[in-house]
Amino acid sequence: MNTPEIVTAREWQAALAEMLVKEKEFTRARDALAAMRRRMPWTPVDKDYRFDGPEGPASLLDLFAGRRQLIVYRAFMDPGVSGWPEHGCVGCSLMADHIPNLAHLNARDTTLVYASRGSQSDIARIKDRMGWDIPWYTMLPDEQGAFDVDFGVDQWHGTNAFIRRPGEGGEQVFRTYFIDNRGDEAFVNTWNFLDMTALGRQETWEDSPAGYPQSAPYEWWSWHDTYADTEPSRWFGDPDPDDPKDPRPPRQQPAECGHCAGR
């Protein structure tokens, strides 16, 4: 393993001071992006989407739970996904493991919910097994359309943001933002913790010094209650060459020689 230079504590502090300049640049760039998000145009949601929840039928407006803003993460706790019916999607389960105490979001007049195609009985069973305390709804497609299809989360995960305000004839809901693919990484603190370590995420796409431990991304993930029992697997399948939005990485082919491995 080709480790970085070993230096004195004083030299290390000097190197850290140089890195802090870049850290501050990153923080300010992130703040600027958030400011742009706050100025994004809104688009009205005109369909009456229907859901089933722990307390029965619900509309999109009901999901706000009386608060001004709503965040909806589309989780694949659906029949047919890898691990069903004991588990839902591995990646979505990893996301759910990182949901904090929602009182803090609620204090800012914001509600966060998860939405899936699985039934409420299946969702409740999986939540109980995994120890999740997240408001979780079942999407109910009807003649007006399907929530996941209309909001870009029928094939892949994603997070939509909404806001409501009084309008003619009652409350009006607007879509304000959407994040998917690697944008959702911001909601997984595991990545943030690993990114500050010497070895990083230990995945093959990372720019790391030669010899650092690395394995294929995604494939090492598991449900938090099965890490001791499972081997890395390609649970998510191979990418669709006809779908330009398919986020799945291609399967890595074994190198034929040392030259190919370093290419």
Q: What is the DSSP string of 11-31?
A: HHHHHHHHHHHHHHHHHHHHH
User: Which amino acid, 3?
Assistant: T
For residue 191, tell me if it sits in a domain. no
pLDDT band at 217 (very low <50, low <70, confident <90, very high): confident
Q: Has residue 103 got a pLDDT over 50?
A: yes
Pairing mode, if any, of strands 136-140 and 110-116? parallel
Q: Has residue 66 got a pLDDT over 90?
A: yes
Identify the CA nearest to 63 among candidates 116, 153, 135. 135
Helix (H, G, I), strand (E, B) or coil at 206: coil
pLDDT band at 33 (very low <50, low <70, confident <90, very high): very high
For residue 4, tell me if it sits in a domain. no
For residue 212, tell me if it sits in a domain. no
Residue 127 corresponds to which tokens in the numbers above? 């939540």
For residue 33, tell me if it sits in a domain. no
Structural contact between residues 126 and 138, judged by C-beta atoms closer than 8 angstroms: no
C-alpha–C-alpha distance, residues 44 and 175, integer Å: 6
The whole domain housing 73 covers: 43-185
User: Between 167 and 131, where is the model more confident?
Assistant: 131
| Mean pLDDT in residue range 143-168 | 90
C-alpha–C-alpha distance, residues 251 and 234, integer Å: 9
Q: Has residue 151 got a pLDDT over 80?
A: yes
Structural contact between residues 175 and 162, judged by C-beta atoms closer than 8 angstroms: yes
Radius of gyration of the chain measured on its C-alpha atoms: 22
Q: How many domains does the chain have?
A: 1
pLDDT band at 261 (very low <50, low <70, confident <90, very high): very low
pLDDT band at 235 (very low <50, low <70, confident <90, very high): low
Domain CATH code at residue 69:
3.40.30.10
pLDDT band at 238 (very low <50, low <70, confident <90, very high): confident
Structural contact between residues 190 and 200, judged by C-beta atoms closer than 8 angstroms: no
**The most confident of 177-186, 222-231, 246-255, by mean pLDDT:** 177-186
pTM for this predicted structure: 0.86
Q: Has residue 254 got a pLDDT over 70?
A: no
Region of 170 (left: φ > 0; alpha: ψ -120 to 50; beta: rest) is left
For residue 81, tell me if it sits in a domain. yes
For residue 203, tell me if it sits in a domain. no
ω into 85 cis (within 30 of 0): yes
For residue 134, tell me if it sits in a domain. yes
Pairing mode, if any, of strands 110-116 and 69-74? parallel
For residue 94, tell me if it sits in a domain. yes
